[in-house]
Amino acid sequence: MATATLDAPEVTARPTPTRRAGPRTTLTAGSSLGLGVAVTWFSLLVLIPLTAIVVTSAERGWSGYVDTITNPQTMAAIRLTVGQSLLVTGINVVMGTLIAWVLVRDRFWGKAVLDVVIDIPFALPTIVAGLVLLGLYGQGSPLGLDWAYTERAVMLALAFVTLPFVVRTVQPVLGELDHDVEEAAASLGAKRLTIFRRIILPSLAPAIAAGAALSFARAIAEYGSLVLLSGNKPFSTEVVSVRVLSFIENGSTASAAAVASLMLAVALFVIVVLDIVQRRVSRRG
Amino acid sequence: MSIEVTNVTKKYGDFYALDDVSVSLPTGQLTALLGPSGGGKSTLLRIIAGLDTADSGTVAIEGTNATRLPPQKRNVGFVFQHYAVFKHMTVAKNVAFGLEIRKTPKAEVRRRVDELLELVHLSQFADRLPSQLSGGQRQRMALARALAVEPTVLLLDEPFGALDAKVRKELREWLRRLHDEVHVTTVFVTHDQEEAMEVADEIVVINQGRVEQVGSPDELYDEPASDFVMGFLGEVTRLGPVRLRPHDVEVGVTPGRAGAIPGTITRLLRVGFEVRLQVELDRELGGGADPVSVVLSRSHARSLDLELGSKVWLTAAVGAVTVPAMVAV
């Protein structure tokens, strides 16, 4: 093939942006004020209390900290909470994306109702959620599933309260996707699954990761819906938040803070990992 | 014949997007589907590509009945008005997509991609993301991507519609030259008659879901089959009992020629080398109360010494394309 020539080169493309390009800040007087207010508010609400927790946890020194964390009952609670939270986050990634897909792409009777009902786990007081779930999946369950006071009950309660996160983050992104792009891929020979994997998924990855991070964070901190359903049996169904509460009730604030600071670190780690995975997926193709 | 569309009908509710359309598009040619917006031309193109399905009728591509084939199996290249780039992939990856789907060996993919980027003048942008390209560059990338799979036919849906006038003109000339080199059967949709006349070997005029006329640009311009085609391909004015192009109206400053209709110049506008006149006719002939538009060259207007208010006598030029004027539309 020879080449056709273009007489005049059209508008040249923008140069590749580099990190160093441009001034170091974009702050004007107005935006400095905005930033100041934002940082102050954030500090009062989040940064200072978080620092206080870390400080309190250090009250009894390093050995006290390690003792608290390595206590077998505490370890069991941490393992259960983190494990079930990861499991539920995984379920949400799949089910949440699926529900968002159905809500955006399909037309069916009752769609508007379903779209509203998705948010109910947000609206319901979590203790009520526990009560509802206990009725359905507890003793004398109409479904014949007696999961009360087991690990499954923990999973169920966490899945219930975290359901909307991935749905609500993915839904708007999916709705904005350009249909042309999928048609272009189809005419190039891509099957539906390939189109989903190579064209749609990379665009959804940031939204899915954001939803997953929210669900995980919510799950490791969940308390209300679990107290009724899980039974809080030490070494079996006792989660971290319950453990922290009993530390506080026994007047051991330092132990409570120690466990809390560890959970903070876990949450931070998982969120960072999710972000890395998300970057990988959205660049793949 | 490369593409054979037979009796295709497509309805959206009560609206006929295509009404019993039959068209044959020859192999190796550059064909334009021309018509006003909402006339059904894009629908026809999408039905050929398999992106929409016809309610009835058949589509054959290179002798194969493609009516029931999904887009994946039709081996057509499709270029969209808004580029439809894969925005998370580099330019090279975009072009390679169709080849990778076909499990082409890596070395072969690289060779083809390099060759195609060379063809569309984007070699130095291979590692950029589409967001770092201009509109014209994105569309050329989309074209390379469509050509990568060596399609039997290349379909372009208003390919230059989203670009500004200058880039648009450059790209249409470039498309013509590209086609002369690559020779893939190409069909493109446009509502711009100038674009169609300049680029296409053959034009299919589509209006209100029907094919109005098929022919070369010259045929359509010189022998329009209908009032609509004549009106769509260029300006039309009415002189007495006929409709004709403004530049086919002969202007005289003295009476005497057979059938000359007298009138007065009510508007005189100079645009570059052209002079446009509006002439109010003195008496009503065949019910045309509207002023006649006339276009003549500047030197001609000067030689006749035309001014606002001048008395002129109008006739249809010898050999002018005329169609009988219909009674008030």
Per-residue tokens: B324 = 């009988």
Residue A8: predicted pLDDT: 44
Contact B95, B141 (CB under 8 A): yes
Q: Minimal CA–CA distance to B10: which of B43, B45, B54?
A: B54
3-state secondary structure of A156: helix
What is the least distance, in Å, from the CA of A168 to any CA of chain B?
23
Contact B145 A203 (CB under 8 A): no
Q: Which residue of A has its CA nearest to B143?
A: A184
Q: B235-324 has which fold?
A: OB fold (Dihydrolipoamide Acetyltransferase, E2P) (2.40.50)
Q: What are the residue ranges of CATH 2.40.50.100 in chain B?
A: 235-324
What is the least distance, in Å, from the CA of B133 to any CA of chain A?
5
Q: Minimal CA–CA distance to B275: which of B234, B305, B233?
A: B305
Contact B115 A283 (CB under 8 A): no
Residue B329: predicted pLDDT: 40
Neighbouring C-alpha atoms within 13 Å toward the C-beta of B155: 29
Residue A5: predicted pLDDT: 47
3-state secondary structure of A106: coil
Contact B181 A1 (CB under 8 A): yes
The model's pLDDT over A187-207, given as tens digits with 9 standing for 90+, comes to 999 999 999 999 999 999 999
Q: Minimal CA–CA distance to A226: which of A166, A278, A155?
A: A155
Which chain A residues are within 8 Å of B102, Cβ to Cβ? 189
Segment 48-67 of chain B within 8 Å of chain A by CB:
49-51
The model's pLDDT over B85-135, given as tens digits with 9 standing for 90+, comes to 999 999 999 999 999 999 999 999 999 999 999 989 999 999 999 999 999
Strand ranges, E, within chain B: 3-12, 15-25, 30-34, 56-61, 64-65, 76-79, 153-157, 185-190, 202-207, 210-215, 237-239, 242-244, 249-252, 261-271, 274-281, 292-297, 311-316, 322-324
The model's pLDDT over B268-314, given as tens digits with 9 standing for 90+, comes to 998 888 999 989 888 655 545 678 899 999 888 888 888 888 888 88
Does residue A180 sit at the B interface (CB-CB below 8 Å)?
Answer: yes
Does residue A13 sit at the B interface (CB-CB below 8 Å)?
Answer: yes
Residue B6: predicted pLDDT: 94
Contact B72 A191 (CB under 8 A): yes
Residue B19: predicted pLDDT: 92
Contact A188 B146 (CB under 8 A): yes
Q: Which residue of B has its CA nearest to A3?
A: B119
What is the least distance, in Å, from the CA of A8 to any CA of chain B?
8
Q: Which residue of B has its CA nearest to A10?
A: B167
Does residue A8 sit at the B interface (CB-CB below 8 Å)?
Answer: yes
In the CATH scheme, what is the code of domain A43-283? Answer: 1.10.3720.10
What is the least distance, in Å, from the CA of A211 to any CA of chain B?
20
The model's pLDDT over A89-101, given as tens digits with 9 standing for 90+, comes to 999 999 999 999 9
pTM of the prediction? 0.79
Q: What is d(CA B134, CA B137) in angstroms, rounded to the nearest whole number?
A: 5
Q: Pick from B61, B72, B111, B186 the residue to mutate for testing the A interface (most A CBs within 10 Å).
A: B72
Average pLDDT, integer, range A7-34: 63
Residue B1: predicted pLDDT: 66
Segment 185-214 of chain A within 8 Å of chain B by CB:
185-191, 194, 198-199, 202-203
Q: What is d(CA A136, CA A148) in angstroms, rounded to the nearest whole number?
A: 10
Average pLDDT, integer, range A127-147: 82
The residues, ordered by sequence, that sit 6+ positions from B295 with a Cβ below 8 Å of its Cβ are B235, B246, B247, B249, B274, B275, B276, B277
Alpha helices (runs of H) in chain A, residue ranges in sequence order = 29-42, 48-57, 61-70, 72-105, 111-117, 120-123, 126-137, 151-176, 179-187, 192-195, 201-221, 224-230, 240-249, 253-283
Q: Minimal CA–CA distance to B308: which of B273, B271, B278?
A: B278
* Length reported for chain A: 285
Contact A189, B149 (CB under 8 A): yes
Contact B78 A184 (CB under 8 A): yes
Residue A86: predicted pLDDT: 95
Q: What is d(CA B111, CA A170) in angstroms, rounded to the nearest whole number?
A: 38
Nearest beta carbon to residue A186 from set B71, B171, B182: B71
Does residue B173 sit at the A interface (CB-CB below 8 Å)?
Answer: yes
Residue B281: predicted pLDDT: 84
Q: What is d(CA A28, CA A171) in angstroms, rounded to the nearest whole number?
A: 35
**In this model, does residue A14 exceed pLDDT 70?**
no
Residue B322: predicted pLDDT: 81
Nearest beta carbon to residue A13 from set B74, B125, B170: B125
Which chain A residues are within 8 Å of B72, Cβ to Cβ? 186-187, 189-191
Q: Between the ranges A7-11, A15-19, A27-31, A168-172, where is the mean pLDDT highest?
A: A168-172
Average pLDDT, integer, range A10-34: 65
Residue B155: predicted pLDDT: 95
Does residue A21 sit at the B interface (CB-CB below 8 Å)?
Answer: no
The residues, ordered by sequence, that sit 6+ positions from B297 with a Cβ below 8 Å of its Cβ are B273, B274, B275
Does residue B228 sit at the A interface (CB-CB below 8 Å)?
Answer: no
Q: Which residue of B has its CA nearest to A285?
A: B89
Ordered per-residue pLDDT tens for chain B, 329 residues? 689 999 999 999 889 999 999 999 989 999 999 999 888 999 999 999 999 999 999 999 988 899 999 999 999 999 999 999 999 999 999 999 999 999 999 999 999 999 999 989 999 999 999 999 999 999 999 999 999 999 999 999 999 888 888 888 888 888 898 898 888 999 999 999 889 999 999 999 999 999 999 999 999 988 888 888 988 888 888 887 788 888 888 888 888 777 788 888 999 998 888 999 989 888 655 545 678 899 999 888 888 888 888 888 888 888 788 877 765 44
User: How many pairs of residues across A and B have Cβ atoms under 8 Å apart?
Assistant: 110
Q: What is d(CA A141, CA A133) in angstroms, rounded to the nearest whole number?
A: 10
3-state secondary structure of B186: strand
Nearest beta carbon to residue A189 from set B149, B174, B181: B149
User: Into which CATH architecture does domain B3-229 fall?
Assistant: 3-Layer(aba) Sandwich (3.40)
Q: What is d(CA A77, CA A245) in angstroms, rounded to the nearest whole number?
A: 12
Contact A3 B118 (CB under 8 A): yes
What is the least distance, in Å, from the CA of B211 to any CA of chain A?
26
What is the least distance, in Å, from the CA of A207 to any CA of chain B?
15
Which chain A residues are within 8 Å of B142, Cβ to Cβ? 184
Q: Minimal CA–CA distance to A129: which of A121, A139, A117, A137?
A: A121
Q: Pick from A3, A7, A10, A176 the residue to mutate for testing the B interface (most B CBs within 10 Å).
A: A10
Q: What is d(CA B285, CA B283) in angstroms, rounded to the nearest whole number?
A: 6
Nearest beta carbon to residue B88 from set A11, A180, A282: A282
Q: Which residue has tokens 């006071």?
A: A149
Residue B94: predicted pLDDT: 95
If pLDDT is split at 50, 70 and 90, which confidence band does A9 have?
A: very low
Residue A23: predicted pLDDT: 62
Does residue A25 sit at the B interface (CB-CB below 8 Å)?
Answer: no
3-state secondary structure of A255: helix
Does residue A280 sit at the B interface (CB-CB below 8 Å)?
Answer: no
Residue A3: predicted pLDDT: 46
Contact A188 B85 (CB under 8 A): no
Contact A185 B97 (CB under 8 A): yes
Q: What are the residue ranges of CATH 3.40.50.300 in chain B?
A: 3-229
Rounded to the nearest 5 percent, the helix, strand and coil shares of chain B are 30, 30, 35
Hey, where are the domains in chain A?
43-283
Residue A136: predicted pLDDT: 84
Does residue B253 sit at the A interface (CB-CB below 8 Å)?
Answer: no
ipTM: 0.82
What is the least distance, in Å, from the CA of A73 to any CA of chain B?
47
Residue A232: predicted pLDDT: 83
The model's pLDDT over A139-179, given as tens digits with 9 standing for 90+, comes to 877 777 788 888 888 898 999 999 999 999 999 999 999 88
